[in-house]
Structure 1
Amino acid sequence: MPTISVQGKTIPCEKGANLRQVLLKHGIELYNGNAKLINCLGLGSCGTCAVEIEGEVTDLTWKEKARLSFPPHSPTKKRRLACQIGVIGDIKVKKYNGFWGQGDTIVWKSEE
């Protein structure tokens, strides 16, 4: 069973579980500011659930690749959309600032 390390917590999940759903179920604040009120609810179109992942997850979906290619996101940053990620193995998660999580300052990380 894979585990998700986030905000000093270790959360077990089923292999293939959707990262966004697992984080929200365990009370992890995935969205910055008003993005928690204004987001696409996991459809992969808004980009507000962007996080940085270390570990084994599913490959980029076409929706994710398209959204992360447009501003304010950049394909050169190592961000992924939590709503499009299936957890395959143990992972560590970081969240950055900015409405879309596109910033350069870490808001929270796995070891907090």
Structure 2
Amino acid sequence: MALIQVGNQLIPCNEGDNLRQVLLDNKVPLYNGPAKVINCMGLGTCGTCAVEVRGPVSERSLPEKLRTALLKDRRLACQVQVLGDITVVKHEGMWGLGERVVDI
């Protein structure tokens, strides 16, 4: 069992669970602005689910490596498997590239 900290929330999940799916299942507003409607639905091709992740997660997949080349320290939630207790931080902007943290 792992815990995901998002803002003031602690969300339990199984190790190996997909981060995007866990966040959506727990009603965490993962997408900024129009990305709520316009996103790739977890295929790893759009980058709108980019989040900062602290803690043990899976290595970057090839689609994620290609998509996050410009995303600094961000990960695509749809491509991340949770491997232990983590903290997730969402940043402003369509692709989460902003410096300002967004409350989710």
Q: State the TM-score, normalizing by the size of structure 1.
A: 0.90
- 1:90 matches 2:70: no
> How far did 1:108 drift?
2.6
> How far did 1:34 drift?
0.8
Q: State the TM-score, normalizing by the size of structure 2.
A: 0.96
Give SS of 1:20's match.
Answer: helix
> How far did 1:102 drift?
1.1
Give SS of 2:93's match.
Answer: coil
Give SS of 2:84's match.
Answer: strand
> How far did 1:7 drift?
2.2
- Aligned pairs (5 A) from 1:69-80: 69=69, 74-75=70-71, 77-80=72-75
> How far did 1:103 drift?
1.1
Residues 8-51 of structure 1, C-alpha deviations (whole Å, 9 max, x = no match): 11011011000000000000000001101000000000000000
Which ranges in structure 2 are unaligned for 5 or more consecutive residues? none
> How far did 1:104 drift?
1.1
Which letter maps to 2:42? G
Give SS of 1:56's match.
Answer: coil
Residues 34-81 of structure 1, C-alpha deviations (whole Å, 9 max, x = no match): 101000000000000000011000000000000112xxxx25x11000
Give SS of 2:89's match.
Answer: strand
Q: Give the ranges of 4+ consecutive aligned residues of structure 1 lying more than 3 Å apart after TM superposition.
A: none
Which ranges in structure 1 are unaligned for 5 or more consecutive residues? none
- In structure 2, what is the Cα distance between the partners aligned to 1:78 and 1:46? 17
- In structure 2, what is the Cα distance between the partners aligned to 1:19 and 1:32? 17
Give SS of 1:57's match.
Answer: coil
Give SS of 2:97's match.
Answer: coil
Which letter maps to 1:98? G
Give SS of 1:39's match.
Answer: coil
Over the matched positions of the two proteins, sequence identity in percent amounts to 54
Q: How many residues align?
A: 104
- Aligned pairs (5 A) from 1:1-112: 1-69=1-69, 74-75=70-71, 77-108=72-103
